[in-house]
Structure 1
């Protein structure tokens, strides 16, 4: 047991008093036994001495000592890691609406599955988080500025429409701009809230062609890193997805590599999902990561309960066995 896990470890000095009580009890019991053996008229002793109760007579004292130990630990202020909901955070949900999201490799389509999972994600976020929505294809647009009201986000998700091309870099830059806009509204004394981008896409960037272009996805990810905004990427779809364009089935395999690279550059995490069930699992993981933070909290309640209950049981046992309190 590390003393660093206690708020006031000096209270453990009271355990010396508990140890002294135990030693005193053992001495008294030993002296009582010695005095009894000195009584030479054993026949008379059986008639005048109360009947020995054996080991049960030690139970009240044992419970009392256990209770004192429990109360001492509680006074020392034990702490433990606890998860508490975040009161200040900004999340931008950034969804790819390029034509490849019409693929049916994820039923009913990639886009419809993404819409369903995104609404569940929005509904499950802790209330204090500001959630915004960005949609992107050949361009990117903020559909909902970060807000704690989930209704406009759900409505915007339902209204997502497909369009040509994929400008992943523009999506990241637009998400960062939405984060900066909200941060500018926060009073200067409080500082900007922590932020994160959740980027869902299925295909490679097509606008511009190079990912390290000034408006490319890798450049945007590096900018997010500079701002301290990690990007959690979700590459959604399968390697065998296709879409029908001008009567032809065009392959639209998911691009795990570039999505993973974006996450790595920004300091975020990369996830893969090839079904609605897997996508929901990813969002559940993100809700835990984003919606809660781990802090050191008070953990004295179990010890306080132990000390109180053990002390009460000690008093009750003493009344039953010896007709007096310990």
Structure 2
């Protein structure tokens, strides 16, 4: 157990102080007691009750004060929580290669349908954020339980040049840091996603202990290889230091077909998209870089999934909550302690009325 406000535990000193004052008062009463010649007469006149019953009300009150003192320090315990009580960041590749028609009607349309279904299938209490990346990465929708802004953003995806997987990981970490103060933001210069960004400094000591994960996760869907910016594995190391797990999904076949975007997806570039499978940049950039994605998963404590077609992608996303069903997080128990303290106060009042009141 840990405490957010440990100094508040000093309030517990009130409990022994009051207990000592109570004992002192009892002894003082005994010294001042009037001595009667007949002890038997006093015993006959006094109501019969166990000695402990006289002290029960004050003991219950002191117990309630002790619980309130603990609650003031905001105690936290490590507990397993379902993924539905955390947040999921969806990092989606919207590079031009997502227009490849090896997955009908094209990769981007299939991904849109699968991700839309995934979002709608989640529990209403699950926060979901959306990060989009091509030549740069951006947080399109901050983590939210509202589904309308997410579906609207998914339905209006447009493609761009380049694939900055590393920058997408760091942007996702930043999105998590906004809702979880225990997660430090990533290096802002490394998240720029361009070659002019300064290289990150020496690696810092891990912020979290090994195996200690944040409850939030990143689901990274990409069909290609990193083309610029920070390397994915380097970005994954930064995410791993912060306890953020990344679950990469390599989408598409190993034989990209011609790339045909819809007018909306091409964003004014024409329905032929960004070129063909053998266009500039080389064919390697049009196929998911599985070795790198597997290493990203391993470094962060996540898991890699391959999805060659739309059906497999929907299956992966559908099973993902069960893959990450249980996570650990700090859960504050102050409310429970306050509730127990209220019960003790009520019990003390009842005991005082029943055991210390003299019969009429």
TM-score, length-normalised on structure 1?
Answer: 0.57
Residues 77-118 of structure 1: CA distance to partner in whole angstroms, max 9, x if unpaired?
xxxxxx985453111000000011000001111010000000
Residue aligning to 2:227: 206
Q: Secondary structure at the match of 2:226?
A: coil
Is residue 221 from structure 1 mapped to residue 236 from structure 2 by the alignment?
A: yes
How does 1:1-326 map onto structure 2 within 5 Å? 85-86=82-83, 88-184=85-181, 194-208=215-229, 215-244=230-259, 248-250=276-278, 251=283, 252-290=286-324
Residues 96/248 of structure 1: CA separation in 2 closer, same or farther (3 Å cut):
closer
Counterpart secondary structure, 1:242: coil
Partner in structure 2 of residue 5 of structure 1: none
Is contact 1:99-1:162 (8 Å) kept?
yes
Partner Cα distance (2:302, 2:160) in 1: 27
In structure 2, C-alpha distance between the alignment counterparts of 1:144 and 1:225, rounded to whole Å: 23
Residue 224 of structure 1, CA deviation: 1.0
Larger radius of gyration: 1
CA-atom RMSD in angstroms: 2.5
Structure 1 residues 185 and 248: alpha-carbon distance in aligned structure 2, compared to 1, 3 A threshold: closer
What's 1:299 paired with? Answer: none
- Residue 259 of structure 1: how far off its partner (Å): 1.3
Structure 1 pair 87–256 and aligned structure 2 pair: CA distance change class (3 A): closer
Is the deviation greater in 244-253 or in 216-225? 244-253
Listed one character per residue, the Cα deviations across residues 192-244 of structure 1 (whole Å, up to 9, x for unaligned) are: 97110000001110013xxxxxx221111011111111100100001101345
8 Å Cα contact 2:95/2:161 also seen in 1: yes
Runs of at least 4 residues off by over 6 Å: none
Gaps of 5+ in 1: 1-82, 187-191, 209-214, 295-326
Larger strand proportion of the pair: 1
Question: What is the distance in 2 between the residues matched to 1:221 and 1:243?
Answer: 32
